[in-house]
Structure 1
Amino acid sequence: MKNYLFHVGIDISKLKLDVVLVDRTTNTLEVHFVVPNNTKGLKRMLSVLKQRKVDLQRTLYCFENTGVYTFPLSCFCFENGFDYWIVPAVEIKRSKGITRGKSDKSEAKDIAYYSIRNIDKLQLSSVPEQSVQQLKLLFAEREKIKKSLLLFGSTKENSGYVPLDVYRTVEAQNKKTIKFLKASLAVIDAKMRELVKRQPKLKRQFELIKSIKGVGDNTAIYFIIATKGFEVFASARKLACYAGVAPFEYSSGSSIRGGTKVNHMADKTMKSLLQMCALSAVRHDAQLKAYYLRKQGEGKNKMLVLNNVRCKIIGRIFAVINRDSPFVDTCKFVA
């Protein structure tokens, strides 16, 4: 691990960046300044750091993940070869302990000191490939359209309950809107498949994931998006934690003996997709079907067994990616 001389904490908002520089040798705040959250502001930040005689190659930049507002700073650090660390906001918040009051300057300072105290947890971030970024935006649009289809589809519930003349005032327009949304959904699906086909690496990963029974096109694409092309999760267990399907023990002393259960903090989209995969797998995959029926016969809760199947699917996905070969159904070789 690199021995950093300076730590820069950056609080990101839509229009500005609050920057705090901390000298690692003395753990003292050197300077605080504010720059616009754009290319001009990022260049000014670099200029200020140079004026302070900061060794840019021995500086760690740390900031929260604030979605799209984080992207310009991430790209700037990546293009200049700077070490940067994007940390979930909830992790920094919980690390601060009891606090009173809040300001952008104090947030930036807390982020800088977080990077010093938790340097043993450091996982340098990187910008995903352009194709993965495009897939991410397309998938987000797809989710919006699916929600819209559900909303506009609920208009049919009026049929048979309100007078026909009243319902007809919206029926035709509602059908047109739903038809347009379905057409848009088909276009987005086609664009995502085309993007995957154009990139040999993503195409190979897509084919490997699809070789697992129960996993469909959209699930395979979302796994590529969430893992940034399988670059950010070191093991299946870590991805299972992220997806919210990894079980954890809940106990304390002799009085609290809770059963193992999953945590509510999760990628809900991935968790939902894995649930559909598990339901499909226990119907069409002989091995998982036998496992599911055996565990149910032992009296295990249905949802617990399905969660185990979700974990097994994640394990299979990591296995095919790591060995770079399709999934092999061993059941068909059994005499």
Structure 2
Amino acid sequence: MKNYSLFIGVDVSKLKLDIVGVDPNNQVLLPHKVLDNKEGDLKLFLTKVIQKFGKDDILVSFENTGVYGMILAHILTKLQIDYCEISALEINRSKGIKRGKSDKSDASIIVQYTIANQFKIKLSSLTEVNISKLKLLYTQREKIVKTIKQFEFNKENEGFIPKPAFKELMKTNTSIVKNLKKNLKLINQQILEIINNNQALKTNYELIQSIPGIGPQTASYLLIVTKGFTVFDNSRQLACYAGVAPFPYQSGSSIRGRNKVSHLADKKLKSLLNMCALNAKRYDYQLKMYFESKVKDGKNKMLILNNIRNKLLHRVFAVIKRQQPYVNIHNFAA
């Protein structure tokens, strides 16, 4: 990473931005300032900062707060200012013991964290438009699927409420579910349309599904979380993100626990990978034999399934790197 002369920490909220700027020695160069989270005010402020310090000497850091930080990210990209979005959990765990909380102090903590970790922090970049669209559509899809399940749970009330009331309830529910499924089908079509209209996304989408056990929902979600396979260097990093990578649990001579996966994970991806692992051990002969042999050895079934999840991610990165579909070598064995 470059040697920056101005580090700017921004605490992002829905309506405003708290900003603090310091030099590498933590001397204040930009006193605490509060701006509206609007393009005009922010662009004017950053333009003045560039005129004074030069854009190549500035690094802006802020918490990853989802949509609230999108205006800031867009303007920083337009002005060609380096920036990094940092996980809120990562910053919170670096605070140490703190009493009280304010937006001003949060901005200071963000910039102090950036200075202390500047040589390991990765610069962020604006998510490609098609990936952003896919993310929004996938989120909407998840909401619809969840709502459909909630309405279908009402069938369990049969026999416990008066028949006329239940009949009326189910009539209404059936109509709602029908419309929801219609919209779900429309969103699935829109997701496919975006993927098919982008050659790189389409190719990777098809390559991922060439792996036994992985279907369209997992393939599209992998495209989203990896931003088209641009933010993870290898399958181990993605496995850590998904919460399926085991880590040692030991200390000194007294603590010798078994390796464990971390609860800090993308739970949606972990759930999808679990379904993929269950399918893969049924339809992929190699993984089926692997699962059965490990069960015979007395291994825990969940441990074996987790190993299969990791194997699937290794296969995903292999086909993406080679840009060749997965080939099951066992099918060609003599």
TM-score (norm 2): 0.98
Ranges of 4+ aligned residues in structure 1 off by more than 2 Å: none
Q: CA deviation at 1:79?
A: 2.0
Amino acid at match of 1:8: I
**In 2, Cα distance between the equivalents of 1:40 and 1:292?**
58
1:71 aligns with 2:70: yes
Residue 251 of structure 2 is aligned to residue 252 of structure 1:
yes
Encode CA deviations 1:77-127: one digit per residue, 9 max, x unaligned: 122221111000010011111111111011001111111000121101111
The CA RMSD measured in Å over matched residues stands at: 1.0
- Aligned residue-pair number: 333
Equivalent runs, 1:3-18 vs 2, <5 Å: 3-18=3-18
Q: CA deviation at 1:185?
A: 0.8
Question: 5+ residue gaps in structure 1?
Answer: none
Deviation at 1:225, TM superposition (A): 0.2
What is the deviation of 1:169? 2.7
> Aligned letter for 1:13?
S
Contact 1:35 1:44 in 2 (8 A): no
Write the deviation string for residues 48-67 of structure 1: whole angstroms up to 9, x where unpaired: 4246x222211111000001
- 1:214-229 correspondence to structure 2 within 5 Å: 214-229=213-228
Check whether the contact 1:10–1:18 (CA below 8 A) recurs between aligned residues.
yes
Q: Distance in 2 between matches of 1:81 and 1:201?
A: 26
Mean alpha-carbon deviation: is it higher for 40-49 or for 179-188?
A: 40-49
Q: Shift of residue 41 of structure 1?
A: 2.2
Matches within 5 A, 1:148-159: 148-159=147-158
Q: Which residue of 1 aligns with 2:141?
A: 142
Cα deviation 1:174-207 (Å, max 9, x = unaligned): 1001111111111111110111000001001101
Deviations 1:198-228 (A, max 9, x none): 0001001101101101000010000000000
> Percent identity at matched positions?
49
Contact kept? 1:60, 1:82, Cα under 8 Å: yes
Instruction: Structure 2 unaligned segments of length 5 or more: list them.
Output: none
**Match of 1:120, SS?**
coil
Cα deviation, residue 166, structure 1: 2.1
Q: Does 1:33 align with 2:7?
A: no
Q: What is the letter of the counterpart of residue 316 of structure 2?
A: I
Q: Distance in 2 between matches of 1:16 and 1:7?
A: 19
Per-residue deviation, 1:43 = 1.3
Structure 1 residue 40: Cα displacement: 1.1
Is 2:18–2:33's contact at 8 Å kept on the other side of the alignment?
yes
Q: Which residue identity is paired with 2:34?
A: V
